[in-house]
Structure 1
Amino acid sequence: MPEPKIITASREASMNYMNETLPVKESFDIIQRDMLIGGRMATFYFIDGFTKDEVMLKIMDSMFKVTEETMPADATQFARMCIPYVEVDVLGDFDQVLKNVLSGVTCLFIDGYESCIAIDCRTYPARSVEEPDKDKSLRGSRDGFVETIVFNTALLRRRIRDPHLTMQMLEVGESSRTDVAICYMSDRVDQKLLQTVSERIKNIQTNDLRMNQQTLAECMFKRKWYNPFPKFKFTERPDTAAACLFEGKVIILVDNSPSAMILPTSVLDIIEEANDYYFPTLTSVYLKFSRVLINLMTIFLTPLFLLFMQNLNWLPKIFAFVAVKDTVNIPLIFQLLMLEIAIDGLRLAALNTPSMLSTPLSVIAGLVMGEFSVKSGWFNSEVMLYMAFVAVANYTQPNFELGYALKFMRLQLLILTALFNWAGFAAGCLVILLSFCFNKTLSGRNYLNIKLN
């Protein structure tokens, strides 16, 4: 790695290097501002749109009051005596200067000073701190993480006023140079896990984090493509993240991402939601048990239905009413697979439909796929009922990735059952069990929190 270029006392040399490295003339938003301070020429570099105009106006007004007689001897004294602002730093090499300028920090070169003065009066465009749409709570706070990492760390600091709360800032990506914060309680965290997480992030060799946390997760722990179960838990709620910190977990925040990554992860962590923290113990245990039961039903309901329809003599008389009574024009397995794809099509259509049209689209889709598809003979009413339950049940847990993992398990179970009858169903159940038990996470443990070699 080449040695960083050191700043010299020549402002002209610094200007030449900055103008050669940055597209000052080509990019309208990279501003170079020359002025006279204390009888010396000075040059500001900053990004238009990132600087607080009112703050910079007051800082410049203070600088203009400096005379040649009161001009400090070096940059460190100038930063202490002449800049009435909190976040001021003195930089010694151009690599730090370029990083700060491109991050929105205002950098000042003064003739005769062998350092650059960085004034962090930046502000980022940000939306309001509001409750996330995906992870809502019946009780509790109504705030949520946003895309600015400093705001997100402040939301955690507001809840945890403990000196043991540590937030370690790292930088990932040669081009993007994305800020990544590792948050933990130093007196409660698993030190071995913390060391593993820190080393993996520091050793990431990538050009950029183009998909923010997802890219970071893939770089930290490369998953096996054939096991779809998630290895990380994400939350957009600062109260949930704070509760996990108190439990000794590690929280990873990535700039430009409105969610927190929680480590380590087990199956109980994945199926948790915010309401579990706000209700009494008995209620929260019941809700968690209900989610587990419903998730199991989303996997096994339609494969069991298909298995019994292929072996009607196995069906107990008390459940004889579930048998398909109408004419089956299309084999049940093809009906189930078609509906699996159709449900995903409706979900994608809802995501890309303007909010004002989402209700009419839902009504049309419900009528066409519900009543008319049964009457036309494409689908049987029993198949439509069970697939409707599966589609709704997928939303009983907040983890979107887990929902698709359960879907893939259900699909392979359906196909194996259709091809090999009961033997295929048993083999599919074994595949699900093995995928679940041997899903190794970053902590070296599986979903049952059992240590794997």
Structure 2
Amino acid sequence: MQTINTDNIRTEFSTSADENIRSMKKQIRIEENFDILTREIIIGGKKAGFFFIDGFVQEDMIEKLMQFFYSLKPEDLSDVDSFLEKGMPYTEVNKITKQSDALTAFFSGVTVCFIDGFSECLSLDCRTYPMRSVTEPWKDKVLRGSRDGFVETLVLNAALLRRRIRDPQLSLELMGVGTRSRSDVAVCYMEDKVDKKLLDSIKRRIQAIRVEALTMNIESLAECLYEHKWINPFPKFKYSERPDTAAAAVLDGNIVIMVDNSPAVMIVPTSIFDIIEEADDYNFAPVIGTYLRISRFLLTLVTMLLTPTWLLLIDNPQWLPEWMMFITVSDEITVPVFFQLLLLELSIDGLKLAAVNTPTLLSTPLSVVAGIVVGEYAVSSGWFNAESMLYMAVVSVGTYSQASFEMGYAMKFMRIILLCLTAAFNLAGYIAGILLIAATIAFNRTMTGCSYIYPLIPFDKKMLKRKLLRVRLPHGNEK
């Protein structure tokens, strides 16, 4: 855990329990905080003071410990080592020699204890955090496979990962970030598979972060770790709320970063193929998994290119063969198609925001109203043509074919730029837009500086086959 470096905090503890208790009460401002509890008792003829945070402490465990402490004799408290050996039945207990470390542990939910004659503080990790159940994530839905998901408690997330990888090479290093929040950050990797240079680089970057708090948890950490400009919209990291995806990434030699209070984990390094790939591809036979993966790739391309390509073709109907004339607009166009598509792009985002902020009981009626009433009357009133509504509906459905929010909005931004260039410069603009999208993807860099389109550049035939097709790997080491 990260320690507190505050000038007005005394470095060492006194051997007097009264002095340590008074100092602790002053530092934690006990009079101004209703949820901070203290208990002063006599154990083995010596005064002891305990400090708890209500809501973090397991009351039944503390009650059992207190009953045991009352039975101690003076010889059990001759020194701190003797006390830990004979007078402390609990396993998760540590000695703390610095007051700053004691404050950090205390505000993390650990119970701290001062005993007269001991120049150390004892920390009893019998905390518990408010948490929800490890149910299936609402965004990362599972077709077949485990239906548990990460939650906001770091210890429980580590247990979900450890449950899947029962290997001594699995390492979960804990660090602290934020001078005020002191958020716990865990770096998870396989010791015998991870890229040591990448691992050292990530740990140095985390340790070098100087912020007050990770306000938005995993996203705040991502912005602190990635030092380059964020003008490129394509995601630099892969996020997942599924323990099976995280475990597979770790077994592949990747690094998984967890942040306390965040149900999502960050996977690095990440290429565009990693972001589009999903664990469900491996929950089915290779043929079905390959079909699902290729379908996802094709839908990603369709989502980005469908409406700009359609706009180009209806602006140049002479290019269309007779059998494709049905794609042109059949009714009268009152609003230019280009503006129709831009308005529909904005409207879809408006519906998304409305769905997020609508109570669950009303979300279905809202969808019905938006889909039937708004859509029907928008066409009949002349604002939109039926063809524009159709193609934007296909684009909206295609956006949800992959789980990454960041990738969905990156494709949306690229689609709008391509639409604008096509409307302004016709075929030349369309070609320029395609080249711009290709350059944006190719020249994007991951946090590690690696190629975003690996294994295309640098070319790796074996890895490319694995990314495009769902193949069975040697030793069952599949992602």
Q: Quick check: TM above 0.5?
A: yes
Question: Structure 2 residue aligned with 1:53, among 54, 59, 65?
Answer: 59
Question: Structure 2 residue aligned with 1:397, among 383, 386, 402?
Answer: 402
CA contact (8 A) 2:76 2:86 kept: no
Q: How does 1:236-255 map to 2 (within 5 A)?
A: 236-255=241-260
- Point out where structure 1 has 5 or more consecutive residues left out of the alignment: none
Question: Structure 2 residue aligned with 1:350, among 351, 355, 361?
Answer: 355
Measure the CA separation in 1 of the matches of 2:380 and 2:123. Answer: 71
Q: Aligned AA for 2:233?
A: P
Measure the CA separation in 2 of the matches of 1:251 and 1:73. Answer: 45
Match of 1:17 in 2: 23
Q: Does 1:323 align with 2:334?
A: no
Q: Aligned AA for 1:24?
A: I
Change (3 A) 1:77 1:291: same
Match of 2:436 in 1: 431
Q: Aligned AA for 1:435?
A: T
Q: Does 1:94 align with 2:99?
A: yes
Match of 1:445 in 2: 450
Q: Deviations over 1:224-262 (max 9, x none)?
A: 232100000011111111111111110101000011111
The Cα shift of 1:382 comes to 0.6
The Cα shift of 1:276 comes to 1.2
Match of 1:299 in 2: 304
Measure the CA separation in 1 of the matches of 2:276 and 2:99. Answer: 48
Question: Structure 2 residue aligned with 1:28, among 19, 26, 34?
Answer: 34
Match of 1:63 in 2: 69
Measure the CA separation in 2 of the matches of 1:302 and 1:4. Answer: 66
Secondary structure of the corresponding residue to residue 396 of structure 1: coil
CA contact (8 A) 1:79 1:89 kept: no
The Cα shift of 1:18 comes to 1.1
Secondary structure of the corresponding residue to residue 183 of structure 1: strand
The Cα shift of 1:41 comes to 1.1
Match of 1:213 in 2: 218
Q: Does 1:335 align with 2:340?
A: yes
Measure the CA separation in 2 of the matches of 1:369 and 1:272. Answer: 35
Measure the CA separation in 2 of the matches of 1:332 and 1:318. Answer: 22
Moved over 3 A (4+): 1-4
Question: Structure 2 residue aligned with 1:5, among 11, 18, 31?
Answer: 11
Secondary structure of the corresponding residue to residue 35 of structure 1: strand
The Cα shift of 1:395 comes to 0.3
Residue range with higher mean Cα deviation, 235-244 or 72-81 = 72-81
RMSD (CA atoms): 1.4
How high is the TM-score relative to the length of structure 2? 0.92
Match of 1:288 in 2: 293
Q: Aligned AA for 2:23?
A: Y
Q: Deviations over 1:170-211 (max 9, x none)?
A: 000000000000000001111111111111111111110010
CA contact (8 A) 1:445 1:451 kept: no
Measure the CA separation in 2 of the matches of 1:431 and 1:355. Answer: 40
The Cα shift of 1:104 comes to 0.8
Q: Deviations over 1:14-73 (max 9, x none)?
A: 1222122111011011112111111111111110111111111111111111122x2322
Secondary structure of the corresponding residue to residue 30 of structure 2: coil
Secondary structure of the corresponding residue to residue 256 of structure 2: strand
Q: How does 1:125-204 map to 2 (within 5 A)?
A: 125-204=130-209
Q: Does 1:407 align with 2:408?
A: no
Question: Structure 2 residue aligned with 1:113, among 91, 114, 118?
Answer: 118
CA contact (8 A) 1:34 1:42 kept: yes
Secondary structure of the corresponding residue to residue 399 of structure 2: helix
Secondary structure of the corresponding residue to residue 348 of structure 2: helix
The Cα shift of 1:80 comes to 2.2
CA contact (8 A) 1:235 1:261 kept: yes
Q: Aligned AA for 1:342?
A: S
CA contact (8 A) 1:75 1:116 kept: no
Match of 1:227 in 2: 232
Secondary structure of the corresponding residue to residue 300 of structure 1: helix
Q: Aligned AA for 1:37?
A: I
Match of 2:473 in 1: none
Q: Deviations over 1:127-155 (max 9, x none)?
A: 01111111111211111101000000001
Secondary structure of the corresponding residue to residue 77 of structure 2: coil
Q: Aligned AA for 2:235?
A: P
Measure the CA separation in 2 of the matches of 1:160 and 1:19. Answer: 43
Secondary structure of the corresponding residue to residue 184 of structure 1: strand
Q: Does 1:40 align with 2:46?
A: yes
The Cα shift of 1:4 comes to 6.2
CA contact (8 A) 1:76 1:90 kept: no
Measure the CA separation in 2 of the matches of 1:328 and 1:118. Answer: 73
Secondary structure of the corresponding residue to residue 138 of structure 1: coil
Measure the CA separation in 2 of the matches of 1:355 and 1:223. Answer: 39
CA contact (8 A) 1:135 1:274 kept: no
Q: Deviations over 1:402-451 (max 9, x none)?
A: 00000000000001111111111111111101110011001221221236
Measure the CA separation in 2 of the matches of 1:315 and 1:80. Answer: 86
Match of 1:256 in 2: 261
Residue range with higher mean Cα deviation, 38-47 or 2-11 = 2-11
Secondary structure of the corresponding residue to residue 25 of structure 1: helix
How high is the TM-score relative to the length of structure 1? 0.97
Residue range with higher mean Cα deviation, 337-346 or 419-428 = 419-428
CA contact (8 A) 1:8 1:114 kept: yes
Q: What is the total number of aligned residue pairs between the two structures? A: 451
Q: Does 1:267 align with 2:272?
A: yes
